[in-house]
Amino acid sequence: MNIVICKNYLEMSCQVAGIVAESIREHVDLKLGLPTGETPKAMYAELVKLFREGNLDFSETVTFNLDEYVGLSSVDPNSFRCFMNENLFDHINIRSSNIHFPDGISECFEDECQAYEDSIQKAGGIGLQLLGIGRNGHIGFNEPGDFIRDITSKVNLTEDTINANARFFKTPSEVPSTAVSMGIGTIMRAKSIILMANGDSKAQAVKEAVKGPITPHLPASLLRLHPDVTFFLDREASSLLEAK
Provide the annotated active-site residues. Answer: 67, 136, 138, 143
Listed residue (42, 51, 23, 214) closest to 126, CA to CA: 23
39: contact with ligand PGA by CB under 6 A? yes
CB 161 within 8 Å of CB 143: yes
33: contact with ligand PGA by CB under 6 A? no
How many residues at the interface with ligand PGA, by CB under 6 A?
A: 6
Residue 53 class from Cβ within 10 Å (0-12 exposed, 13-18 middle, 19+ buried)?
exposed
Beta carbon nearer to ligand PGA, 98 or 141? 141
Question: Which residues 131-170 are close enough to bind ligand PGA by CB under 6 A?
Answer: 132-134
Alpha-carbon distances, residue 77 vs 65, 81, 116 (angstroms): 16, 9, 23
CB 53 within 8 Å of CB 21: no
Distance CA 155, CA 34 (A): 18
Beta carbon nearer to ligand PGA, 38 or 76? 38
Q: Please identify which residue in 20, 32, 37, 207 interacts with ligand PGA, judged by CB under 6 A.
A: 37
175: contact with ligand PGA by CB under 6 A? no
Beta carbon nearer to ligand PGA, 39 or 239? 39
38: contact with ligand PGA by CB under 6 A? yes
181: contact with ligand PGA by CB under 6 A? no
